[in-house]
C-alpha cells in the first residue's frame, strides 16, 4: 500500500525513518517521556520482504504483526497483497500548546481503522495540558476520517479518492430535519412546514375602486320608480329620461 504522512493539515508522501542504534532504520511513533509513550516499528530485514524505500522514506509497505503472543509487534514489510482502494496514513495530531487533545476518528465506513501508534503531551505532564496522537491508520476508499489537532479547535476531513488522500477543513453542519410520517399509512413522508415570524400573514381582502357599490339616495329611488312606470308604454311613445323630469 502507498504510504502518506498527515501533519499540520497537509499530506506528504511516505514515512520518514530515523536511525536507531539498536534497531537500525526505524519508524518512531509518539515520544518517550513522562506521561507519554513511543512505539518503534522496524523494517523487515529479509530482503525479499523489505518495503519499498527511497532514501530514508518508506514509499510502499504493509504493516505486519510479527508477534507470537497477545502483545503486538509490528514491522514494515513488502505489500504482497497489492491492496487496492486503501493506503497507509500516519496521522500526527500535534497542534498548539495548552488544553485540548488531538485524535483521529472514523466518521463513515467500517473498514478504516487504527493499526498502531503512540502519543505525547503538549507541554510536559501538567494535567491541564492536552495530548497529541501519532498513529498509523489503514484508510479505505471514500471513507471519511476526522483529524482533530491538539490544543485548538482546528480539525480536518481526510478521504482517499482514487487511491490518493485528500484533505479539507472540517466544517460542522446542522443535521437535516427528519420528515414526519403522513397519516395515510402509505409509508410516505412529508417535510414539516415551518411557521413563525418569518412567514408573512395573508393580507385581508379589500375591494378595489370599481368594486365599491355607491350608496343610493331617496331621489335615486324615486327616479327608478318613475322609470319603471313609463317602461310599459307602447313602442314609439316618447318617454322622458329621468334627468329630464322636473319635480313640482
Q: What are the pLDDT digits (tens) for 207-224?
A: 444 444 455 555 566 666
Cβ of 95: how many Cβ atoms within 10 Å? 22
| Angstrom distance (rounded) from CA 130 to CA 140 | 29
C-alpha cell at 187: 409509508
Distance separating alpha carbons of residues 66 and 58, to the nearest angstrom: 19
Nearest Cα residue to 116 out of 89, 86, 93, 78: 89
11-36: average pLDDT: 90
The yes-or-no verdict on residue 52 having pLDDT over 60 is yes
43-65: average pLDDT: 93
In terms of DSSP bridges, do strands 57-60 and 15-16 run parallel, antiparallel, or are they unpaired?
Answer: antiparallel
The count of C-alpha atoms lying within 13 angstroms of the C-alpha of 245, restricted to the half-sphere facing its C-beta, is: 15
pLDDT digits (tens, 9 = 90+) for 83-119: 678 999 999 999 887 788 999 999 999 999 999 999 9
Please tell me the number of Cα atoms within 13 Å of 131 on its side-chain side. 17
Amino acid at each position: 500500500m502507498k504510504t502518506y504522512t498527515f501533519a499540520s493539515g497537509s499530506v506528504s508522501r511516505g514515512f520518514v525513518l530515523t536511525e536507531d542504534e539498536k534497531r537500525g532504520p526505524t519508524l518512531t511513533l509518539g515520544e518517550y517521556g513522562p506521561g507519554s509513550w513511543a512505539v518503534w516499528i522496524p523494517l523487515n530485514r529479509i530482503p525479499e520482504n523489505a518495503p519499498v524505500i527511497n532514501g530514508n522514506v518508506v514509499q510502499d509497505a504493509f504493516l505486519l504483526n510479527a508477534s507470537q503472543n497477545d502483545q503486538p509487534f509490528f514491522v514494515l514489510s513488502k505489500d504482497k497483497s497489492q491492496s487496492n482502494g486503501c493506503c497507509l496514513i500516519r496521522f500526527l495530531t500535534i497542534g498548539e500548546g495548552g488544553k485540548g487533545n488531538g485524535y483521529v476518528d472514523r466518521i463513515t465506513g467500517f473498514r478504516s481503522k487504527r493499526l498502531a501508534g503512540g502519543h505525547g503531551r503538549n507541554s510536559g505532564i501538567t494535567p491541564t495540558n492536552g495530548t497529541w496522537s501519532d498513529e498509523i491508520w489503514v484508510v479505505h476508499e471514500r471513507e471519511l476520517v476526522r483529524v482533530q489537532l491538539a490544543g485548538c479547535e482546528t480539525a480536518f476531513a481526510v478521504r482517499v479518492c482514487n487511491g490518493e488522500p485528500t484533505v479539507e477543513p472540517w466544517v460542522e453542519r446542522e443535521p437535516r430535519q427528519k420528515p414526519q410520517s403522513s397519516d395515510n399509512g402509505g409509508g410516505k413522508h412529508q417535510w414539516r412546514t415551518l411557521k413563525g415570524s418569518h412567514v408573512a400573514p395573508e393580507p385581508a381582502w379589500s375591494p378595489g375602486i370599481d368594486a365599491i357599490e355607491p350608496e343610493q339616495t331617496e331621489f335615486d329611488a324615486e327616479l327608478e320608480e318613475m322609470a319603471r312606470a313609463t317602461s310599459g308604454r307602447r313602442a314609439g311613445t316618447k318617454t322622458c329620461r329621468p334627468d329630464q323630469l322636473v319635480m313640482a
